[in-house]
């Protein structure tokens, strides 16, 4: 079988693929310049003629699958295959393997770092120096005095891999880590709370949920207004979880201390999306919480392990994302 690798892959994991398959063609998107959209993806599949596609960003649609019907497997180096039409994959009989947990440590580390930066006014203080405002007679010690993370009550909405990695980091700050888990599961020494109690009682509330019919718009303006006035709201999950206009009103009213956001309704943002930057006490990053070089290693580790299982026919109901394809 021939494998077409369009995701960045470390050499040792590529060598593993070469041991498993007859031919491996490596053309990662970061070498070719950008993801392939529908027509480009189809054209390259027709040229390369692979049996297996390993991708990360490329768009694989029904048109692609109908135009090139010879794929036996797609490995997607993402936690969820947002770049694939998974219903079309199922219809075409193509199993999809994903890499859940690939960036959980990366997201957790930067979320905690940004929380600390917000609480300590780090970005403003740096800009204050750049603007030449540190002059004789100023007292930065008092101007930029902030709060410690240690001992704070931190609420994690959703308690999957990212939240669990964040909780371990927060343990080092002696934080009272609470969580809302819609499945009602128990996790060690951490405190389960209802969504309403979590928002009302925590010093920091951080979202870590996928978007689904049950979670879309979960965080309403009403819920945000139950937060403590000195509380911080964090969203490194998905913007669709939150009523964005409601959040803007809450921030402009200074009803909470501020927000740390790594996601927006549209990416890249429209001028309307960037209105939130005019709100007080907002740190906005361009969806980079999961962006580390190590993630490339993690996703390749996970995917190669799952490919081995697929070849052996093991745990297919657990590793195949579009499980309905197994019934075809």
The active-site residue, picked from 13, 121, 287, 323, is 287
pLDDT band at 185 (very low <50, low <70, confident <90, very high): confident
Taking only the tens place, the pLDDT of each residue in 190-241 is 999 999 999 999 999 999 998 889 999 999 999 999 999 999 999 999 999 9
Residues 86 and 206 in one domain: no
User: The sheet that has 176-180: what strands, in order across it?
Assistant: 191-192, 176-180, 153-157, 204-207, 232-235, 258-261, 282-284
Same domain, 121 and 140: yes
Residues 6+ positions from 45 with CB-CB distance below 8 Å: 4, 53, 64, 67, 68, 71
Q: Is the separation of the CB atoms in 287 and 267 below 8 Å? A: yes
Computed over its alpha carbons, how large is the radius of gyration of the chain? 22
Catalytic residue among 59, 153, 238, 306: 238
Average pLDDT over residues 264-271: 95
State whether 213 and 297 are in the same domain. Answer: no
The DSSP secondary structure of 138-182, one letter per residue, reads --HHHHT-----TT-EEEEES-SHHHHHHHHHHHTTT-EEEEE-T
- Specify the CATH number for the domain of residue 316: 3.40.50.720
Give 95-129 pLDDT, tens digit per residue.
999 999 999 999 999 999 999 999 999 999 999 99
Residue 182: predicted pLDDT: 79
Selected catalytic residue, list 27, 34, 196, 267? 267
**One domain for residues 71 and 212:** no
- Give yes or no: residues 160 and 197 share one domain: yes
pLDDT in tens, 5-23: 999 999 999 999 999 999 9
Residues 273-289 have a mean pLDDT of 96
Q: Does residue 142 sit in the same domain as residue 186?
A: yes
The first and second tokens of residue 195, run together, are: 């969504």
Q: What pLDDT does 34 receive? A: 87
Determine contact, residues 41/63, Cβ cutoff 8 Å.
Answer: no
Which pLDDT value is given to residue 33? 81
Give per-residue pLDDT as tens, 129-165. Answer: 999 999 999 999 999 999 999 999 999 999 999 999 9
Cα(305)–Cα(22) distance, integer angstroms: 18
Strand partners, 157: 180, 207
Domain extent for 313:
2-102+293-327
The answer on 83 and 28 residing in a single domain is yes
Higher pLDDT, 79 or 220: 220
Distance CA 111, CA 191 (A): 20
Average pLDDT for the chain: 96
- The verdict on whether 267 is a catalytic residue reads yes
pTM of the model: 0.89
* pLDDT tens digits for range 17-42: 999 999 999 999 988 888 999 999 99
Reference 71, options 88, 27, 83, 81; nearest CA is 88
**Cα torsion angle, 247, 250, 253, 258, sign:** negative
């Amino acid at each position: 079988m021939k494998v077409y690798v369009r995701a960045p892959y470390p050499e040792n994991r590529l060598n593993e693929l070469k041991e498993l398959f007859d031919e491996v063609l490596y053309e990662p998107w970061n070498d070719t310049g950008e993801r392939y959209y529908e027509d480009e993806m189809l054209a390259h599949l027709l040229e390369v003629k692979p049996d297996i596609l390993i991708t990360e960003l490329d768009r694989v649609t029904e048109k692609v699958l109908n135009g090139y019907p010879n794929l036996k497997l797609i490995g997607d180096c993402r936690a969820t295959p947002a770049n694939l039409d998974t219903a079309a994959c199922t219809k075409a009989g193509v199993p999809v393997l994903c890499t859940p947990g690939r960036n959980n440590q990366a997201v957790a580390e930067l979320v905690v770092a940004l929380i600390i930066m917000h609480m300590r006014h780090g970005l403003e203080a740096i800009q204050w120096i750049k603007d030449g405002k540190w002059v004789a007679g100023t007292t930065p010690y008092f101007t930029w005095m902030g709060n410690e993370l240690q001992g704070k009550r931190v609420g994690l909405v959703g308690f999957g891999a990212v939240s669990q990695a964040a909780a371990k980091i927060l343990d080092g700050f002696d934080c009272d880590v609470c969580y809302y888990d819609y499945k009602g599961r128990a996790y060690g020494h951490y405190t389960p709370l209802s969504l309403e109690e979590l928002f009302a009682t925590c010093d920091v509330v951080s979202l870590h949920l996928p978007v689904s019919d049950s979670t879309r718009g979960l965080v309403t303006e009403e819920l945000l207004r139950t937060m403590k006035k000195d509380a911080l709201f964090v969203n490194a999950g998905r913007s669709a979880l939150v009523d964005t206009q409601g959040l803007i009103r809450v921030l402009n009213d200074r009803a909470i201390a501020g927000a740390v956001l790594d996601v927006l309704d549209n990416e890249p943002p429209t001028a309307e999306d960037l209105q939130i930057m005019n709100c007080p006490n907002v740190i906005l990053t361009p969806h980079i919480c999961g962006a580390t070089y190590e993630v490339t290693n993690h996703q390749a580790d996970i995917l190669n392990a799952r490919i081995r299982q697929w070849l052996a026919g093991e745990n297919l109901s657990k590793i195949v994302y579009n499980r309905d394809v197994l019934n075809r």
